[in-house]
Amino acid sequence: MKKMVLGICLLLTAISAAAQKVFTAQELRADLTVIRQALEEAHPGLYRYRSKEEVDRHFTRIGQQLKKGMTEHAFFRLVNPLIAAIGDGHIKFHRQGKPDDPYAFFEEGYFPLQLYFREGQAFVLRSYSQVSTLPAGVRILSINREPISRLTERLSGQLYADGNVSSARYAALNNAFAGHYGTFTGAFPKFTISYKEQGGKRVKTVLKSINAKQITTETKEAAPYALTYPAKGVALLRIAVFMEKEGMQGFAAFLDSSFGQFSHQKISTLIIDLRDNEGGTDKLGQTLYAFLARSPFRYYEKLTVAGTGPYSFAAHATFPAEIDYLKQFVVKVGEAYHFTYKEGLDTLMPATNAFGGNVYILQNGRSFSVTAEFAAIAKDNRRAVFIGEESGGAMQGNSSGGFAMVTLPHTRLGLDVPLLGYYMKLQQPFATDRGIPADHIIIPSAEDILQRRDPVMEKALQLAGAR
C-alpha cells in the first residue's frame, strides 16, 4: 500500500513538473522564429491593419524579453498580444490540440460567475456554482481590485477579432470570460469582488473559484436555416450558420422554395436574423444575396495569398491537401499575389424570384466571416436596413480559407494561419477596420437577457409595421 501511495505521489509530481516545464531562452527564440516565418510567409493580411514597422517592433520587444527561460504559459502570454494585434478574427494561437478551448491552461481556479459585458461595464447573469454566487443583474465594479473598465480594456487587447471591431471582442468576453480571465490574469483560489446592488449600494465580497468542468453554457440545437411568418405580410428568415445539414433541404433549394412563396403570401417585408451566425461556406452567402439583388453584382474585389512558397517553416506545419494544385491559380499582380480560382470573383446574377420588398437584417458581435461578407454586400448596395450592433466581421473582408497548421518545435503551441485574404467589392466608402454598422443600434441590456426580451426583434417588427 505504501509503495502504491508513493507511486501516485511521484506521478502527480511528474505531471505537475511537466505542466510547469521551463523552456530555455534559446528554445523560445527558436519558437518565435517559426512564428515569424509563418506569419510573414503565409498570412495574407499581416499588414492589413498594422504597418510592417508596427509588427516588427512587436517582434523586437518580444525577442528582447527572451533572455531567460519561461514556461509554455508564460511564453503564450508574452506572444499573444502580437497575434491579437494583427486584427484577424480567424487566426488561432493555442495549446497543442486545444484550438477552441478557452480553459486550456488550468483545470481549476476560475471565476465563478457568468458576466455580461457592455460598454465597459459588467453585469451578473448567473453563477456556475451554488456556493459562489451573487444576485443576477447586479453590476460588478471590480475583480481583485481591478476596475471593470480597465479589465475590459486589458483583456480586449488579448482577443482575436477583425481590425478594430469592438463588438466581436465584447462577444468573446461574454462567451468565455472566465477562461480569458484565467488565461491572461491567472488562476486563483478566491476572488475579491466589488459590486453595486440594484438599489445602488456598493458591496464587497469574496467568492471561491470553481473548476473548468463547472462552467457550462446554455446551448440549444437549432436548424441551420428556417422560415417563419411572425406577422401578416412579414417573413422571418433565421440563418444560424451558413452550412448545410445532412437530411435537410439544400440551402439554394430552401431559398428558392421560400422566396417563391412570398408573392403568394403577399410578403412585403423580410427580416433576416443573422445574430450569432459565425459563418460557414462562402458560396452560401453569395447565394443568399442573389435572392435580394436588384441587378447583377460583384461579390469579391480580389482574393490574395502571401506567396506560393517554398515555406521555411514547412517542417513544423501541415497544409491543405490541395495546396499544390491550387498554386496554379495564383497570379502575381505588382507586388501582390492574387488567387483567381474562387466563386464570387465574376459578375453574379439575381435569382429568378429575387425579393423586391423591404429587408431588415439583424446582427451582433458574433455575426462573423461569411455572415459579414454577405452583410457587407447588402449594406454597400443599400439593400437592407441593419438592426442591432456592429457586426463581428469586418466590412472590407477577412483572412480565412484554408490554414497552415503550425506546431512550434519546443513549446508545442499551435498557430493556425489563414492562407487566403478576402476583399469585398464595395462601391461606397466604409471604415477599413470596422464591422458593418447598424442603422438602428439596439444593444440588449442585462435585464433584457434575464427577462428573455428581444429588443432587436421588437424593433424590426416595429419598423415592419407589425407592432
Please write the tens of the pLDDT for every residue from 190-248: 999 999 987 788 999 999 999 999 998 777 778 999 999 999 999 999 999 999 998 89
- Per the listing, cell 481583485 goes with 144
Compare 191 and 343 and report the one with higher pLDDT.
191
Torsion, CA 157, CA 79, CA 61, CA 21, rounded to 10: 140
- Within this chain, do residues 88 and 158 fall inside the same structural domain, yes or no? no
Evaluate whether residue 4 is within a structural domain. no
Evaluate whether residue 2 is within a structural domain. no
- Within this chain, do residues 257 and 163 fall inside the same structural domain, yes or no? no
Phi, psi dihedral angles at 193 (to 5 degrees): -125, 130
- Within this chain, do residues 200 and 268 fall inside the same structural domain, yes or no? no
- Within this chain, do residues 59 and 79 fall inside the same structural domain, yes or no? yes
Q: Which residues of 31-60 are buried (b: 16+ CB within 10 A; e: fewer)?
A: bbbbbbbbbbbbbbbbebbbeeeebeebbe
Domain span holding position 239:
225-463
Q: Give me the pLDDT at residue 343, please.
A: 85
Q: How far apart are CA 178 and CA 185, in angstroms?
A: 10
Read off the pLDDT of residues 147-170 as tens digits, 9 standing for 90 and up: 999 999 999 999 999 999 999 999
Evaluate whether residue 176 is within a structural domain. yes
Q: Does residue 255 contact residue 262 with C-beta atoms inside 8 Å?
A: no
Q: Enter the pTM of the model.
A: 0.92
- Within this chain, do residues 206 and 269 fall inside the same structural domain, yes or no? no
**What is the rounded average pLDDT for all residues in the chain?**
93
Among 39, 64, 94, the domain-final residue is: 94
Evaluate whether residue 10 is within a structural domain. no
Evaluate whether residue 5 is within a structural domain. no
Segment (H or E) for 151: helix 148-156
- Within this chain, do residues 238 and 327 fall inside the same structural domain, yes or no? yes
- Within this chain, do residues 430 and 339 fall inside the same structural domain, yes or no? yes
Read off the pLDDT of residues 291-305 as tens digits, 9 standing for 90 and up: 999 999 999 999 999
- Within this chain, do residues 299 and 432 fall inside the same structural domain, yes or no? yes
- Within this chain, do residues 194 and 287 fall inside the same structural domain, yes or no? no
Q: How far apart are CA 208 and CA 131, in angstroms?
A: 8
Tell me: pLDDT of 15 over 50: no
pLDDT band with cut points at 50, 70 and 90 for residue 19: low
Q: Residue 166 is part of a domain; what is its CATH number? A: 2.30.42.10
Among 94, 122, 153, the domain-final residue is: 94
Distance set, CA 41 to CA 60, 314, 328, 423 (Å):
18, 10, 18, 19
Q: Give me the pLDDT at residue 3, please.
A: 37
Among 94, 128, 155, the domain-final residue is: 94
Which of 436, 465, 284, 454 lies closest to 357, judged by CA? Answer: 465
- Within this chain, do residues 208 and 233 fall inside the same structural domain, yes or no? no
- Within this chain, do residues 178 and 238 fall inside the same structural domain, yes or no? no
- Within this chain, do residues 244 and 273 fall inside the same structural domain, yes or no? yes
Evaluate whether residue 178 is within a structural domain. yes
DSSP assignment of 42-86 equals: H-TTTTSSS-HHHHHHHHHHHHHT-SS-EEHHHHHHHHHHHHHHT
Which of 340, 422, 442 lies closest to 377, judged by CA? Answer: 422
Evaluate whether residue 8 is within a structural domain. no
Please tell me the total count of domains within the chain.
3
Torsion, CA 415, CA 421, CA 422, CA 428, rounded to 10: 120
Q: Residue 432 is part of a domain; what is its CATH number? A: 3.90.226.10
- Cβ neighbours for 426, distance < 8 A, ≥ 6 positions apart: 301, 376, 380, 395, 396
Evaluate whether residue 9 is within a structural domain. no
Compare 200 and 78 and report the one with higher pLDDT.
78
